[in-house]
Structure 1
Amino acid sequence: MTAPSNRKEAYKQARERDRLLRERAREGMLRGEEKYLPARDRGPVRKLARDFVDSRRLPGQYFLPAVLLIMLASMVPFPPEIRRWVLTLYTMSLPLVMVLVLVSSFYVAGRVKKEAARRYPDENLKGVGFYAAMRSSQIRRLRFPKPTVLPGGKPVPVKK
């Protein structure tokens, strides 16, 4: 890189340098490299929480698809004699799914906190339960950083 001859050229070079740095950081974040992750995702405790959640199939990750399915099914016209029972089923299913997700979130938060305290007694555990609960309520495909383990605990195969 050559020294800029004027202010305009200096700004142009600085923008290009910043763009390259942002691109490198973005790629590093997508790969899950620790130094490029945001502060909330760094550290061995957060890695443990991510791997704990990602290695299981939890009700929270199916909440949004379930709600969408319930909403779409409620628009289907049913014969009047069946409609009453179907509406009762819809009315009961949504709160039931919500309670299931809530119970699952508390369970995950407790298990992750307990496991993190056992493995990393000197680390700061503040917020790790909430972090795990929120991750468990996200659709797996939309999680960030991307999951590094498959359900069942096997590592995700590296793409070439």
Structure 2
Amino acid sequence: MSEHNDQPGGKGRPTPSRREAEAARKAQMKKANTRKDQMKAQRAMRDSAREKQRRALAGEGSAADLPSRDRGPVKAFVRDYVDRRFSVAEFLLPLLVLMLVLSTVGGEWGSVVVVYLWMATILLVGLDSVRLVVGVRRQIRTRFGAEHVRGTTSYALLRSTQLRRFRLPKAMVPRGAPLKERY
């Protein structure tokens, strides 16, 4: 037994030599640099993945790089189904701006026009949304099966409310184009 253990309050081991202490300190510093390098590499990987995803959303990259909510043949079909048709909901924002201008500038007649325009807009958006949902669900059942319908309704409705030029992933089919047979 060592005499270091006999002392009260002793550390239980011999004091390291200067050479050992310097080697341990240098090894610790190398670990710190390694951690820093690991963080840089992780950041570079995240940036690369983010850039791939951005390119895929812009229509330039691979479908595998899309976010998980946009991946798969069913979602691609829903995007094409929505993008190939005119939707009343996509013109909702410009109509709301027009109504705001009419209500502030038009005086009494402007307010009356805004009320009727607002009611007509709500009715048309509702009818168009029902038509969109029924059409998408029917097409998905026939092309992919009933088990793939879940989650596509909200995806189609949200996409139809966005202005076509600001949709992500970017619209890839022209308006009025026929639907592809296979996705």
TM-score bracket relative to the smaller structure: 0.7 to 0.9
Q: Indicate the residue corresponding to 1:158 in structure 2.
A: none
Q: Work out the CA distance in 1 between the residues paired with 2:125 and 2:39.
A: 51
Is 2:46 the counterpart of 1:18? yes
Measured after TM superposition, the shift of residue 53 of structure 1 is 0.8
Tell me the equivalent position of 2:12. Answer: none
Larger radius of gyration: 2
Cα distance in structure 2, aligned partners of 1:63 and 1:149 = 22
Q: CA deviation at 1:73?
A: 1.8
Gaps of 5+ in 2: 1-31
2:172 to 120, 133, 148: 148
> Percent of counterpart pairs with the same letter?
31
CA contact (8 A) 1:105 1:133 kept: yes
TM-score (norm 2): 0.70
Question: Take 1:88 and 1:18, find their aligned partners in 2: how far apart are those partners?
Answer: 54
Q: Contact conserved, 1:53 with 1:132, CA < 8 A, in 2? A: yes
**Structure 1 equivalent of residue 78 of structure 2:** 49
- Distance apart, 1:58 and its partner CA: 1.1
Aligned to 1:121: 145
TM-score (structure 1 length as normaliser): 0.80
Q: Is contact 1:106–1:133 with CA below 8 Å preserved after alignment?
A: no
Shift of 1:153: 1.3
Q: Distance in 2 between matches of 1:140 and 1:34?
A: 20
- Aligned in 2, Cα 1:69/1:109: closer, same or farther, shift over 3 Å? same
The alignment's C-alpha RMSD in Å is 2.3
Aligned to 1:87: 111
Cα distance in 1, alignment partners of residues 125 and 81 from structure 2: 17
1:154 is displaced (CA, Å) by 7.4
Does the CA contact (< 8 Å) of 1:55 and 1:150 recur in 2? Answer: yes
1:5-56 CA-to-partner distances (Å, cap 9, x unmatched) read 6332332233223322322232233226321122221222211111111011
> Conserved in 1, the CA contact under 8 Å of 2:102 and 2:111?
no
Letter in 2 for 1:9: D
| 8 Å Cα contact 1:57/1:151 also seen in 2 | yes
Equivalent pairs, count: 147
Do the aligned partners of 1:59 and 1:101 also contact (CA within 8 Å) in 2? yes
Cα shift at 1:151 = 0.9
Deviation per CA, 1:53-88: give whole Å up to 9, x if none: 10111111101100101101222155xxxx3x3321
Code of the aligned partner of 1:38:
P
| Contact 2:53–2:67, Cα closer than 8 Å, also in 1 | no
How far apart, CA to CA, are the structure 1 residues paired with 2:49 and 2:63? 16
2 CA distance for matches of 1:116 and 1:103?
A: 20
- Is the alpha carbon distance of 1:41 and 1:21 closer, same or farther for their aligned partners in structure 2, counting shifts above 3 Å? closer
Unaligned runs of 5+ in 1: 156-160
- 2:58 aligned residue (25, 30, 33): 30
CA distance in 1, matches of 2:71, 2:167: 15
